[in-house]
Each structure stands twice: as structure tokens, then as C-alpha cells.
């Protein structure tokens, strides 16, 4: 193949098409548990996470609900993936080997939100959220109905096994946040005069983005490392359904998604799909949530 502008344009289009093909074929599940929040700056503050607004009976003047109750913020990170194509491969038309690589490049960029979101979910047992406690913790501070007493509220079952999670994802904000400032964009440095070509006889193609993840409301998530069985599932549902915000306001949680890794898949299917429980009695938990088996979890 001659190294000229027309052939390089054709080559670039072909590589980009393979990249986009990988994007379209790759499966994604991060948006089942996280809300996409577009960002306009490197560090986005989420002070309003400290307050779940609730309608109140209008008696006297309006009561302004302050949305700046925490200093929680998510700082973006840059991400990139770059592939090099040897000039000799172009000149000898040895390009078939690159098609699956560019497809994999697209699939890999598509997988980044999944990887970040589920890594953070798993890290919730040891990573702080907006109230300064671990996202899954036994002592989240919540103001009681009297307006002064602070209660300790738990959203975890503890344990030391493989983690599983029961979530309420039907609210406007899901339990996790995927903050995106710039989505992946395919770029090329493939002019014969580019330094990478001139010095290294290598045509370079890449994609880059700016994004990060963070926690939303811990009140909508329950994490456990106990054995996934009817007893622990019942406790998780009770904790979420009975969850209250400050001043004793019920949150109206309806747990609808059970997230597990491969090690808990069998237990999750039995719990949510079986007609009968282990003792032969009717399985009262059948259909009470949807099962999401995530390859990013153990």
C-alpha cells in the first residue's frame, strides 16, 4: 500500500469503524446501579447529598430545605487507550491483524464505566461517602423525629464472604454516580510528518476521556458479605424498606435489584426464581427483586 493521504484516510476510517463496532457490541450494566451526571468542571461538588428533600404540610412561611449539608465532591480523572500500527504492516498490506485489536479497543473503552462503578460498589465497605462514614456502615448518623437526637443507622450485614448488594434503583438518583465530563473520542496521529511516524515508523491511534465515579445516597443500598440466603435477604429488605431520612421521614424505598458476582449467582437464582424454599415450603421471596450477575464482582 502506498503511504499517501488518500490511503491513510481510508485506513483511518476503517480503524475507526472497527473501534465503533467494538463499542456497539460490548455489553454494559453500570447504568443499572449508577446515574450519569454530566460534569462541567474537574471537581464537581455534591453538597445536596446531605439532604433528601421531602414535601411537608404548608403551615406558616415556607421552610427552605438547605441543600448544602456536606462537602462531598467527585474529582475527574483522565483515561486513555492508544494503539500503534507499524508502517511496515501498512506498506505490506498486513492489516487484518489490527481489526480485532481496534474492536477490542472500542470494547475496552465501553467497559470503563462498568469497571469503575462496580469497583467502587465493592469498595463501599471501606470507602467514605458524603456523611464521612463508609458507604456500607453500621453507624450512619441520622437525625431522629425530635430534630435533635442522632441515631446510628446500618445498611450492611457485615460478614467476610463474597459481597452481594440489594439496591433501590427506582429513585431519580441511583446509589452510585458516574460523572462524565468527556466521553471517549477516537483520534489519530497518522500523517507521515508526525514525529511518531518520522522517528518510530509507527502510526498511532487512540481514545481518551475524562470521568470518575462516586457514591449517591447510602440509604438506597445494602451491602453484605454474609451467606446469601433467605434470612440475610429478609434482613436486607427490612433495612431498606424501613429506611428513614432526617427528622424521621420515611424514604419509600422499594428494593428491586440484587447484585451478585459469580460466586453468589446460584444462591441468587434460587432465592429469586425458585418456587419453593429449601425446606419445601413456598418461596416467599420469588420475584421480589431482579438478579444482576456482574462479572466485575467476585
Return all residues near 196 (Cβ < 8 A) that are at least 6 apart.
84, 189, 202, 203, 204
Q: What is the DSSP letter of 281?
A: S
Q: How many helices (H) and strands (E) does the chain have?
A: 6, 13
Phi, psi (degrees; rounded to nearest 5) at 286: -60, 130
For the entire predicted model, the pTM comes to 0.87
pLDDT of the residue at 68: 42
The DSSP secondary-structure symbol of 262 reads: G
Q: Which residue has the cell 442522632?
A: 150
Predicted pLDDT at 276? 92
Q: What is the crossing angle of helices 99-122 and 5-25, to 10°?
A: 40
Q: Which three cell numbers stand for residue 3?
A: 503511504
Distance CA 260, CA 291 (A): 8
Question: For residues 196 and 121, is the Cβ–Cβ distance under 8 A?
Answer: no
- Strands of 176-189's sheet, edge to edge? 34-38, 176-189, 202-215, 77-86
Q: What is the pLDDT along the chain (298 residues), one digit of tens a residue?
A: 556 666 777 778 888 888 889 888 888 999 999 999 999 889 988 877 766 655 555 555 654 344 445 568 999 999 999 998 888 777 776 667 778 889 999 999 999 999 999 999 999 999 999 999 999 999 999 988 877 788 899 999 999 999 999 999 999 899 999 999 999 999 998 888 888 878 888 889 999 999 999 999 999 999 999 999 999 999 999 999 999 888 788 899 999 999 999 999 999 999 999 999 888 899 999 999 999 999 999 9
Q: How far is CA 203 from CA 85, 89, 195, in A?
A: 5, 10, 10
Strand order in the sheet with 257-260: 156-159, 221-225, 164-167, 257-260, 290-293
Spacing of C-alpha 236 from chain mean position:
21
Cell digits for 230? 433467605
Amino acid at each position: 500500500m502506498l503511504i499517501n493521504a488518500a490511503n491513510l484516510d481510508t485506513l483511518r476510517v476503517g480503524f475507526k469503524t472497527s473501534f465503533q463496532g467494538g463499542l456497539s457490541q460490548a455489553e454494559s450494566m453500570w447504568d443499572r446501579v449508577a446515574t450519569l451526571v454530566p460534569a462541567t468542571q474537574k471537581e464537581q461538588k455534591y453538597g445536596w447529598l446531605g439532604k433528601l428533600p421531602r414535601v411537608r404540610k404548608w403551615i406558616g412561611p415556607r421552610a427552605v430545605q438547605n441543600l448544602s449539608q456536606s462537602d462531598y465532591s467527585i474529582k475527574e480523572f483522565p483515561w486513555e487507550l492508544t494503539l500503534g500500527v507499524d508502517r511496515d504492516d501498512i506498506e505490506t498490506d498486513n492489516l487484518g491483524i489490527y481489526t480485532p485489536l481496534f474492536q477490542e479497543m472500542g470494547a475496552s473503552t465501553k467497559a470503563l464505566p462498568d469497571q469503575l462503578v462496580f469497583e467502587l460498589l465493592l469498595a463501599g465497605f471501606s470507602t467514605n461517602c458524603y456523611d464521612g462514614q463508609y458507604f456500607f456502615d453500621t453507624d450512619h448518623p441520622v437525625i431522629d423525629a425530635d430534630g435533635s437526637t442522632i441515631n446510628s443507622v446500618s445498611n450492611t450485614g457485615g460478614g467476610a464472604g463474597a459481597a452481594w448488594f440489594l439496591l433501590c434503583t427506582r429513585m431519580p438518583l441511583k446509589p452510585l454516580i458516574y460523572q462524565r465530563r468527556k466521553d471517549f473520542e477516537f483520534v489519530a496521529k497518522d500523517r507521515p510528518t508526525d514525529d511518531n511516524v518520522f522517528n518510530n515508523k509507527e502510526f498511532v491511534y487512540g481514545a481518551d476521556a475524562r470521568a470518575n465515579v462516586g457514591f449517591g445516597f447510602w440509604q438506597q443500598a445494602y451491602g453484605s458479605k454474609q451467606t446469601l440466603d433467605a434470612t440475610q435477604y429478609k434482613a436486607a429488605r427490612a433495612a431498606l424498606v424501613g429506611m428513614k431520612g432526617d427528622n424521621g421521614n420515611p424514604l419509600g424505598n422499594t428494593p428491586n435489584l440484587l447484585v451478585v458476582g459469580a460466586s453468589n449467582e446460584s444462591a441468587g437464582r434460587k432465592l429469586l426464581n425458585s418456587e419453593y424454599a429449601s425446606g419445601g415450603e413456598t418461596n416467599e421471596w420469588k420475584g421480589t427483586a431482579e438478579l444482576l450477575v456482574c462479572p466485575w464482582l467476585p
